[in-house]
Amino acid sequence: MNWAENDPPSSLESHRHWLDGLTGRLPRTRAYQNFPDPYLDDAQQAYYGGNYARLRAVKSAYDPGSFFGYPQGVRPQ
Protein backbone atom coordinates (compact mmCIF):
# COMPACT_ATOMS: atom_id res chain seq x y z
CA MET A 1 0.00 0.00 0.00
CA ASN A 2 1.31 3.45 -0.81
CA TRP A 3 0.15 7.00 -1.17
CA ALA A 4 1.43 10.33 -2.34
CA GLU A 5 1.82 13.60 -0.45
CA ASN A 6 -0.87 15.24 -2.58
CA ASP A 7 -3.53 12.55 -1.93
CA PRO A 8 -6.70 13.88 -0.27
CA PRO A 9 -6.90 13.73 3.56
CA SER A 10 -9.59 11.03 3.41
CA SER A 11 -7.21 8.76 1.50
CA LEU A 12 -4.42 9.37 4.01
CA GLU A 13 -6.76 8.63 6.91
CA SER A 14 -7.82 5.37 5.25
CA HIS A 15 -4.22 4.28 4.77
CA ARG A 16 -3.28 5.27 8.33
CA HIS A 17 -6.19 3.17 9.62
CA TRP A 18 -4.94 0.18 7.58
CA LEU A 19 -1.41 0.57 8.98
CA ASP A 20 -2.68 0.83 12.55
CA GLY A 21 -4.63 -2.41 12.08
CA LEU A 22 -1.62 -4.17 10.56
CA THR A 23 0.47 -3.63 13.68
CA GLY A 24 -1.91 -5.70 15.80
CA ARG A 25 -1.89 -8.62 13.35
CA LEU A 26 1.87 -9.11 13.11
CA PRO A 27 3.16 -12.33 14.65
CA ARG A 28 5.22 -12.20 17.86
CA THR A 29 5.95 -8.50 17.66
CA ARG A 30 4.28 -5.11 17.72
CA ALA A 31 6.08 -3.78 14.67
CA TYR A 32 7.67 -4.85 11.43
CA GLN A 33 11.01 -3.27 10.68
CA ASN A 34 10.36 -2.84 6.94
CA PHE A 35 7.25 -0.75 7.64
CA PRO A 36 8.62 2.24 9.59
CA ASP A 37 5.85 3.80 11.65
CA PRO A 38 6.55 7.39 12.77
CA TYR A 39 3.68 7.16 15.29
CA LEU A 40 5.02 4.08 17.06
CA ASP A 41 5.96 4.64 20.70
CA ASP A 42 9.31 3.13 21.71
CA ALA A 43 10.12 2.07 18.15
CA GLN A 44 13.53 0.66 19.05
CA GLN A 45 12.03 -1.81 21.52
CA ALA A 46 9.21 -2.71 19.14
CA TYR A 47 11.53 -3.31 16.18
CA TYR A 48 14.61 -4.80 17.85
CA GLY A 49 13.46 -6.14 21.22
CA GLY A 50 16.16 -7.79 23.30
CA ASN A 51 18.74 -7.33 20.54
CA TYR A 52 18.75 -3.54 20.78
CA ALA A 53 21.61 -3.19 23.29
CA ARG A 54 23.88 -5.43 21.18
CA LEU A 55 22.91 -3.57 18.00
CA ARG A 56 23.77 -0.24 19.67
CA ALA A 57 27.26 -1.53 20.42
CA VAL A 58 27.72 -2.56 16.77
CA LYS A 59 26.33 0.77 15.57
CA SER A 60 28.75 2.65 17.83
CA ALA A 61 31.69 0.69 16.47
CA TYR A 62 30.85 0.98 12.77
CA ASP A 63 28.66 4.09 12.41
CA PRO A 64 29.23 6.29 15.48
CA GLY A 65 28.10 9.43 13.63
CA SER A 66 24.86 7.71 12.58
CA PHE A 67 25.41 8.42 8.90
CA PHE A 68 22.99 5.61 8.11
CA GLY A 69 20.52 6.65 10.82
CA TYR A 70 16.81 7.40 10.75
CA PRO A 71 14.35 8.12 13.57
CA GLN A 72 13.34 4.48 14.20
CA GLY A 73 16.82 3.08 13.57
CA VAL A 74 19.49 1.87 15.93
CA ARG A 75 21.14 4.76 17.79
CA PRO A 76 24.82 4.66 18.75
CA GLN A 77 25.66 4.35 22.45
Query: In this predicted model, what pLDDT tens digit does every residue of 41-77 receive, in sequence order?
Result: 788 888 888 999 999 999 999 999 999 988 888 989 8
Nearest in space to 31 (alpha carbons), one of 3, 63, 77, 73: 73
Question: Taking residues 8-13, what's their average pLDDT?
Answer: 82
State phi, psi for 29 to the nearest 5 degrees: -160, 165
| Amino acid letter for position 65 | G
pLDDT, averaged across the chain: 81
Within 10 Å of residue 15's Cβ, how many Cβ atoms?
Answer: 14
Question: Taking residues 12-31, what's their average pLDDT?
Answer: 71
DSSP 7-20: S-HHHHHHHHHHHH
pLDDT at 32: 63
Distance CA 9, CA 2 (A): 14
